[in-house]
């Protein structure tokens, strides 16, 4: 009697399905470390497997190339940034809150402070996300710009509620203001990357607040 044929793994299929996601996550984290320390252009698949302590076969079982893993690394970096910067501010429940101008400015100032702290504690992450990765190719640049669009639209939802409640002037495009607030976070982050301290950051925030606050308040109706 002929024995039934043994089932074999398909090419490139992980041996233990239960460990698939864990190993994939480990490779992404190793690639993140390599890309943010060496730079994407200088890094290789060899650097990634060396960081994790595995062989080439493990890498190519999950990813076809260095570029293939990059999208996952970008998602990983974005998740880290958003969890540090946004906290619970952009949770759906908080959208029901009607922000005053002062609360809006305070929220923006807090986001600036958190971004600068990331720049000080993990400058490689901030440099990669803001400067190196967007220039790798058009697809990646579009993805990162798309993230900015999502954030500005979310901020715009807060601003629209403020307009509806009368605490914010109604003659401005709220999504444009969202983009402006995002853009205003970049200079203090760049200063933090260059070694600027808390006093420098506070001076910038105070100046921005002095300009933003009167510009966002409702216009007074002449008698």
**What CATH number has the domain bearing residue 43?**
1.10.10.60
Query: Is 221 a member of any domain?
Result: no
The predicted pLDDT at position 105 comes to 82
Residue 64's nearest CA partner among 38, 45, 50 is: 45
pLDDT at residue 131 is higher than 60: yes
> Rounded to the nearest 10 degrees, how much is the dihedral formed by the CA atoms of 172, 175, 179, 184?
50
Residues 56 and 141 in one domain: no
Average pLDDT, the chain: 80
Residues 91 and 19 in one domain: no
Which residue, 22, 42, 68, sits at the end of a domain?
A: 68
Residues 101 and 176 in one domain: yes
Banded pLDDT at 222 (limits 50, 70, 90): very low
Helix, coil or strand: residue 9? coil
Among 118-122, 181-185, 214-218, name the one with the lowest average pLDDT: 214-218
The total of structural domains in the chain comes to: 2
Helix, coil or strand: residue 51? helix
Among 1-15, 35-49, 181-195, 199-213, name the one with the lowest average pLDDT: 1-15
Averaged pLDDT, 19-44: 91
Residue 63's nearest CA partner among 15, 11, 28 is: 28
Among 42-56, 97-111, 204-218, name the one with the lowest average pLDDT: 97-111
Q: What is the extent of the structural domain holding 193? A: 86-216
Q: Do residues 133 and 74 touch, judged by C-beta distance below 8 A?
A: yes
pLDDT at residue 27 is higher than 90: yes
Residues 98 and 55 in one domain: no
pLDDT at residue 125 is higher than 80: yes
The predicted pLDDT at position 160 comes to 80
Q: What's the per-residue H, E or C state across 69-81?
A: HHHHHHHHHHHHH
Banded pLDDT at 162 (limits 50, 70, 90): confident
Predicted model pTM: 0.70
The conformation of residue 95, written as its DSSP 8-state character, comes to: G
Using one digit for the tens of pLDDT, what is the confidence trace for 174-197?
888 888 888 888 899 999 988 888
pLDDT at residue 69 is higher than 50: yes
Residues 104 and 64 in one domain: no
Residues 96 and 204 in one domain: yes
Residues 128 and 189 in one domain: yes
Residues 191 and 160 in one domain: yes
Query: Is 32 a member of any domain?
Result: yes
The predicted pLDDT at position 156 comes to 76
Banded pLDDT at 166 (limits 50, 70, 90): confident
Measured N-to-C along each axis, helices 20-38 and 66-85 cross at an angle, to the nearest 10 degrees, of 80
Residues 167 and 113 in one domain: yes
> Rounded to the nearest 10 degrees, how much is the dihedral formed by the CA atoms of 195, 199, 116, 212?
-130
Averaged pLDDT, 148-159: 75
């Amino acid at each position: 009697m002929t024995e039934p044929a043994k089932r074999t793994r398909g090419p490139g299929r992980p041996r233990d399905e239960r460990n698939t996601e864990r190993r994939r996550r480990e490779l992404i984290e190793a690639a993140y470390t390599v890309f943010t320390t060496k730079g994407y252009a200088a890094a290789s698949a060899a650097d990634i497997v060396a960081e994790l302590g595995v062989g080439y076969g493990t890498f190519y079982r999950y990813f076809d190339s260095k570029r293939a893993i990059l999208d996952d690394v970008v998602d990983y970096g974005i998740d880290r940034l958003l969890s540090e910067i946004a906290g619970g501010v952009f949770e759906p429940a908080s959208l029901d809150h009607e922000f005053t101008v002062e609360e809006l400015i305070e929220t923006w100032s807090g986001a600036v402070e958190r971004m600068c702290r990331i720049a000080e504690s993990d400058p490689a992450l901030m440099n990669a996300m803001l400067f190196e990765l967007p220039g790798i190719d058009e697809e990646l640049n579009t993805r990162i710009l798309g993230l900015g669009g999502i954030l500005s639209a979310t901020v715009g939802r807060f601003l629209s509620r403020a307009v509806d409640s009368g605490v914010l002037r109604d003659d401005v495009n709220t999504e444009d203001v969202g983009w402006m607030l995002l853009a205003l976070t970049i200079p203090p982050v760049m200063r933090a990357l260059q070694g600027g301290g808390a006093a420098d950051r506070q001076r910038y925030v105070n100046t921005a607040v002095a300009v933003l606050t009167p510009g966002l308040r409702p216009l007074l109706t002449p008698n």
